[in-house]
Structure 1
Amino acid sequence: MGLPRMSFNLYFLHQSLTNVQIWDFQECRFQPVVGKDVHSGNIEKVTTKEKVKFPQEFFPECKWSRKGFMRTRWNLHGTTFDLINIHLFHDESNFIAMESFPSLYTKNRQGALEYTLNRLQNDKYDKVPYFIFGDFNFRLDTQAVVEKITRKAPPVHVKSAKNGDVTKVLFRHPKDENRVVLTVERKVFSVEDHEEAFFRNDGKWLQEHDKEPKLFKDRLFEFDIEFPPSYPYKEESSEARSYMRTRCPAWCDRILLSKSAKALVLMTPDESGKPPVIYQIMGTNVCMGDHKPVMLWFRLIQGTTVYRHKEQRSRSSTTCPTCCIL
């Protein structure tokens, strides 16, 4: 099932799983999952999903947008949870993105995500744990990143001879004016040692500037990031580990959990010693498009049921099913 352009949802259930149910949002009841269902094209009449398009005022600069979210609700071995695929607004201009934090684009994304979370909290359906994932388009504090890269070197503005608008901003090395450390245009973000700067130690130096998710720290949880920024990668097959010089690399693609969903994740290693949670990027050495998919693997605690908008949990002694979200 799809929402944004070139986006779709796929749900795979291992054949060993029994008593799997999916929620019908029209009938307000669970129905058993049997066989295989494929929904494509116009899916407006499919009642096992909720699809919401964001109101236009969240992104007034864009006259037409299909950004929004899609929700499905599942009952797996007695545990009820929502899976929510979301697509938020992107940064249109590097110039605007680097003016301040939060930028205009950050505020747009913040408003849309708040709208989503409030809707989940206040709609007519029972409140259940949820996993919300997709292209959040979260960007770094670009102004702070620029200052770190350039060591606060003064910018050199290049203006159009036609209308006087700034078309390019150059930052030169403080001890060698012939060296351009950073070039910024509306759709250009090019660092002198681009790959080294952003791949070094999986980009950990950038994490202090990854501020957008922190705006929701009281409502959403994320496992520690131990992978490089997921966007924007080159799309040539021979350039799988190279970033395009268009935007400041960022962790746009995320998997976040409600606080109640975090409680569903079994945090003890299995018998083989495998870590209880794996949160990582996929296709590190393979071209996957401009975004690298991100996955979250974990074991699900069984027996969480919702009664009258309140959760009740009884932990089953049977084997916990494994889940993987990407």
Structure 2
Amino acid sequence: MNKVWVFSPSGAIIDTEAYQRGLDALRVVGFDVSESPEACLREQRFAGSDEQRLQAIVDAANASGAQLLMATRGGYGLTRLLPGLPWATLAEQLRSHGHVLCGHSDVTALQLGLMAQSAIPLQLLHGPMVCFDFGGAEGIHPTTLRHFQTAVHDGRVEIDWECQRVNPLVQGDQLEVIGPVWGGNLAMLCSVLGTPWLPAITGGILVLEDVNEPVYRIERMLLQLQQAGILGQQQAVLVGQCSEPAPSLHDGGYALPDAIACVQAALDRESRSNNTKRVPILTDFPFGHTTPKACFFQGVEGKLTVDASRGIACRLTQNL
């Protein structure tokens, strides 16, 4: 798999130098790159009009000469397009061409929508994008590249990390669960609650991350998912890098571990009330609007193991 189609479904490319570096970096690591004609369009903050970006998605799905479809960047804009996307056609084109659709951030909405609207198994890689990940001034991080190449070329995900901030109730636990891995950007997932574009996944391993959100907003969105019954239906929740802004004086020491503890307590009360298995929240998953980052396949069965005998050693694996 060495042919990639690059397209812009959301925000306009602001840093054209980063975009060019990203294209060059993809070529250096062996990809034959084709650019969507609309990739560099701009209308206000968007990569072209809604109609142009919708067509860019349709064209990408139908790009028979490419095997990998990669978004240039995220931003905002896909939410506008969800009602007008030809979901069944998109899914069939992705399946028939054997495409891997890669991206994160705003692309979360597109991937979740495809999962919700199609019964066809698709290759939806929640992973790096052109501008930020491949187009950084220092080049793509070797760890990001290793995870990406393993997923794209081998269809395999192997992620090891140390959970630093963990609810005390998890201490000492030996955990092993198997279920579909899914999720992505926290704000995007909350935005599709109550819509036809949220897949109904139970017994899953839910991955969540966000950027530039104050901790109280992260807590509020996590509680929204908990109160909507989403978190309690999973086997585990993995919180990635949230890249929250600096705390304010008003926070009085309140930080992300406090927010996670609050949500874990709510989940624990829910499990006791319903007499169901506890859903642990594990932090520091190496994914988010940061680098380096791992990647994972949306909706594909994964195995999560946690070994607390040597710190909190976590491992997530998937195979297509």
Q: Which of the pair is proportionally richer in strand?
A: 1
Greater helix share, structure number: 2
Same fold (TM over 0.5): no
State which structure, 1 or 2, has the greater radius of gyration over its C-alpha atoms.
1
Query: What's the TM-score bracket when you normalise by the shorter of the two chains?
Result: under 0.3
Task: Report the TM-score, using the length of structure 2 for normalisation.
Answer: 0.26
